[in-house]
Structure 1
Amino acid sequence: MYRRPAPSPDVPCRPHRVLSAAAGLLLVVLTGCTGDGGAARGPTGPAGTAGASGLGDPYFPHLGNGGYDVRHYGLTLDYTPATGRLSGTAEITARATQDLGSFHLDFAGLTVDSATVDGTAVAVHRAGTELTLRPRQRLGRGDTFRTVVRYSGVPRRVTDPDGSEEGWLRSEGRAVALGQPTGSMAWFPGNHHPSDKASYDIRITVPAGLKAISNGELRSERTRAGRTAFVWHTPEPMASYLATVAIGPYKTRETKGAKGTVPGYTAVDQAVVDDPDTAGDSAELLASVPRIMKWGERNFGAYPFSSTGLIIGRPGQAGYALETQTRPFLPGPTDLETLVHELTHQWFGDSVTPASWRDMWLSEGFATYAEWLWLADTKGVPVRDSFAEAYGDEANWAFPPAVPPTAADISEPPVYGRGAMVLQRLREAVGDTAFFRIVRGWARTHRHGNATTADFTAYAERRSGKDLGALWDAWLYGHPKPPRH
């Protein structure tokens, strides 16, 4: 995500070395959620246990669900912009990670019309944003099962703790779905914690003349009886907050992957194309995508996905850019550095995804540092100058990047600017050769997975052969502003 900077739980010790009791408990909860069922379990009995209704994320404890691992989402959507009505069917293929008598899905706002598990109708209990489904037959640990939920209604906007809006953003015959951190549950049910990634097939039907853009590869586009169906396929694992649908009068361009490149799909809102004040800026951004991709591969290693692209929406459609997987969304033409930021997220944030929302700096710090590298390579601005500017900005010192105080702080300046400063201090400590070996190795080792701050600090020490404890204490976890040199 890219937001222009606007003017607690206890801080844990460095988790890869010494853990306080509180921090240790937190890691037990998080480790449990990715293993055999997550946070607190329900009572055991002949019908199996109840999957947890949350994964204990530090900032969104009820987000996500325990007891299963989603492997694939098949979403079939039909949208009418004039009324805002969305009809959907979600086919969710998952593997049980414990014996399950019941399990939960995250879902906000829309009406559930029916649900089945392995073809058998099941009752659905709803409480807030939690759906509880109880299969007729117990699901055994290791079983693969298929849940189908049919739903309808007018999807809603979601207001984040920091006041920004996400979810289903509708305006002037257009709609865009943006999900960071929780908004994806506004348009499809699922396991909406970033630690549970899955592949996707998304079919979207809209009135003829409009486009419906999503992640991955466009498999087909067919018009019948005045409505057009677009079918998109994402083979690589994707966190639900990175899934998107953009509907509107877009001008699109599809490119086939030449040797050494991947296929691309770009879309620009027709209002941007028709406006002489914005058309040139959007054309420059589109033309820059291949160049930035090649630059990213030189610095970060092989591009991790089978397609790429860009969506440029109508100005004001959203209040921020977002790194939606393979196809970042920009709210109108922006500066080139913002595009660099969002495309860098394809490596750091989309492929290597934070294990919890506390690990957000692993995404935003890397993307911000990439802006500094880009400025150095293309405009001759030394990285040390970008570091100095960030160091002098007091907004970056409100809290340590690895431990934002509240959910409202996970997209605040320290996560971005001070997160990037951590990487520059690491580079100075280990040298350029070792630093870029660490960066490329990190992206390769955790490709299509999830990672924690502790994973990164341990990896950097192992690959560099250095004890970097003092660096982490001062720049990553420390409250006082450390000396610049």
Structure 2
Amino acid sequence: MPLTSRTRALLPKAVRSLRRALLAASSLCLIAASGPMPAEPLGIGDRLFPHLGNPGYDVMAYDLAFTYSGNNSEPLPTVTTIDARVTDWLEQVNLDYSHGTVRSVEVNGVPAEFRSAGEDLVVTPAQRLAPGSRMRITVGHDSDPTPGEDVESGWVRTEDGLAMANQIDAAHRIFPGNDHPSDKAIFTIRVTAPDAYTAVANGLPLEAVRHAGTTTWAYRTEHPMATELTQVSIGRSSVPHRSGPGSLPVRDVVPSKDREKLEPWLKKTPEQIAWMERKVGRYPFETYGLLIAEARTGFALETQTLSLFERELFTHPEFPKWYVESTMVHELAHQWFGNSVTPRTWSDLWLSEGHATWYEALYAEETADRPLETRMREAYRASDTWRAAGGPPAAPKAPESGRRISIFRPNVYGGSALVLYALRQEIGRPAFERLERRWVRIHRDGTATTADFEGLASAVAGRDLSAFFTAWLYGKKTPPMPGHPEWRSVAPAEKGAKHARQPSTTQTKSTR
């Protein structure tokens, strides 16, 4: 664990003096002077998920190497390598990891002790680590695709293999790391699988090496990525390729038996990318595509460069065409809002889901005659109920016990898109559109907060918008809508069940 001022205060004065003397005389680790420190789970203090993330280091890169047997109920032997920059004196290093057997750990090539503590893997290196130094941790472990208690995602077992759905905090069920969106890194992902299977992951392919009966597929991202956006697909898949705007490589991953059936949907992606580029600027990554999995998840997910969708979304005739296309655009919009510009804390989630819902609704208006104003008026009517149930957009209530993804309530979808509509009403369409383009340009490949958005909006508008944002993002009641003083939000006690559902193209939690 990091040697913080809090831990120093707990040590007797004599022990502190002895440690200083030992350090002055030799390179002995502090652990050698006082014995092993107790293992305890840490976190970085996220308001909604305080157990996530770990202090004391900044991950620069992950290398994940999985071996798949062909049985999606068997653990995958895995080697995870983490390259990080140390930011504080570290006697122990905490990694988020909670579901799988750990066989070995090395720190900078030297075997290290390790123990479990809560949902952390606590590693004790042979030498304490100094600020500014580089650290490479190599963990040999099993990645277990079978469900555990209180688990909603992680590995998703499909009809023909596996895929990932790691939002919010399921990445550390698959591999050890710093599982918080504030610590983005470059990923290299390798998958060895029987020849009948195709493996695809985030980023661009590096190579596919054939062995006796198996193939090792390798991919690397060109841009940093949050752990929750990691994607690996292993299945009996086809990978059709096409070009997007500016010769962007577009590749999709679909069950081989459904390739022809799904093609009419897949070929829509390049124009959807072009539509988004006209709104907010150049697509921010090296590739894009849809991963269509034969599985039941209850949601679509914006995994970076390869968005996850259920097969049934595209094959069930009861879903209208505009609904399916708007859902596709929702996950595409996340590539700018959420993936390239990542919320720094989970309380900033509205910046991601609000924008994805906004462009989903705008696309439906422009391509399917689904008026944006009508949808926003319906959202306004429901907004007070959403705030009462889930908290205001930028201060969502904590998740329900045992249901961590329950923070994905209507207030961060339709309620947050409503904030953006109010902002456009307040500052005018030209200023709003400049703000959107500038936001994704300034914060590309980084993380950003609600305060960052407020500050930029005020700068673009040329006036202080703090009162506007305080009311719209943190108020218990929905403020009056600029330009529409006649709109009314029905109080929770007045609303019936028919108004409780989010009035959107997607039901709550069907997109993330």
| Bin of the TM-score, shorter chain as denominator length | 0.7 to 0.9
Q: Deviations over 1:86-109 (max 9, x none)?
A: 010011100001122211101111
**Rounded Cα–Cα distance in structure 2 between residues aligned with 1:458 and 1:425:** 17
Who is 2:369 aligned against?
380
Structure 1 residue 303, shift from structure 2 partner: 1.2
Deviates further, 69-78 or 225-234: 225-234
Matches within 5 A, 1:79-478: 79-82=68-71, 83-152=73-142, 154-157=144-147, 165-255=152-242, 260-273=246-259, 280=261, 282-316=262-296, 318-334=297-313, 335-393=324-382, 396-397=386-387, 398=389, 399-408=391-400, 409-478=406-475
Q: Deviations over 1:391-427 (max 9, x none)?
A: 2335534321111111244201110001001001111
Q: Deviations over 1:124-170 (max 9, x none)?
A: 0111221111111221111111110001253343676xxx8211122
Higher RCO (Cα < 8 Å, 6 or more apart): 1
Closer, same or farther: CA 39–205 of 1 in aligned 2, 3 Å:
farther
Relative to the length of structure 1, the TM-score reads 0.85
Of Structure 1 and Structure 2, the greater strand share is in 1
Kept in 2: contact 1:116–1:148 (CA 8 A):
yes
Which amino acid letter does the alignment assign opposite residue 305 of structure 1?
Answer: F
Closer, same or farther: CA 159–353 of 1 in aligned 2, 3 Å:
farther
**Rounded Cα–Cα distance in structure 2 between residues aligned with 1:39 and 1:429:** 45
**Rounded Cα–Cα distance in structure 1 between residues aligned with 2:202 and 2:3:** 28
Matches within 5 A, 1:55-70: 55-70=44-59
CA-based RMSD: 2.3
Of Structure 1 and Structure 2, the greater helix share is in 2
Closer, same or farther: CA 354–48 of 1 in aligned 2, 3 Å:
farther
Kept in 2: contact 1:215–1:326 (CA 8 A):
yes
**Rounded Cα–Cα distance in structure 2 between residues aligned with 1:224 and 1:240:** 30
5+ residue gaps, structure 1, are: 1-36, 274-278
Kept in 2: contact 1:52–1:66 (CA 8 A):
no
Kept in 1: contact 2:245–2:273 (CA 8 A):
no
Q: Deviations over 1:253-284 (max 9, x none)?
A: 134x57723212211123544xxxxx64x323
Closer, same or farther: CA 258–248 of 1 in aligned 2, 3 Å:
closer
Structure 1 residue 171, shift from structure 2 partner: 4.2
Name the SS for the 1:345 alignment partner: helix
Closer, same or farther: CA 315–154 of 1 in aligned 2, 3 Å:
closer
Closer, same or farther: CA 38–291 of 1 in aligned 2, 3 Å:
farther
Question: In the comparison of the two structures, how many residue pairs are matched?
Answer: 439
**Rounded Cα–Cα distance in structure 2 between residues aligned with 1:196 and 1:154:** 24
Deviates further, 129-138 or 465-474: 465-474
Q: Deviations over 1:180-201 (max 9, x none)?
A: 0011111111000110000010
Relative to the length of structure 2, the TM-score reads 0.81
Who is 1:10 aligned against?
none
**Rounded Cα–Cα distance in structure 1 between residues aligned with 2:4 and 2:223:** 27
Closer, same or farther: CA 208–40 of 1 in aligned 2, 3 Å:
farther
Which amino acid letter does the alignment assign opposite residue 357 of structure 1?
Answer: W
Structure 1 residue 287, shift from structure 2 partner: 0.8
Larger Rg computed on CA atoms = 2
**Rounded Cα–Cα distance in structure 1 between residues aligned with 2:457 and 2:168:** 27
Closer, same or farther: CA 423–38 of 1 in aligned 2, 3 Å:
farther
**Rounded Cα–Cα distance in structure 2 between residues aligned with 1:178 and 1:105:** 20
Kept in 2: contact 1:272–1:314 (CA 8 A):
no
Deviates further, 128-137 or 234-243: 128-137
**Rounded Cα–Cα distance in structure 2 between residues aligned with 1:157 and 1:390:** 36
5+ residue gaps, structure 2, are: 9-15, 24-28, 32-36, 314-323, 401-405, 485-512
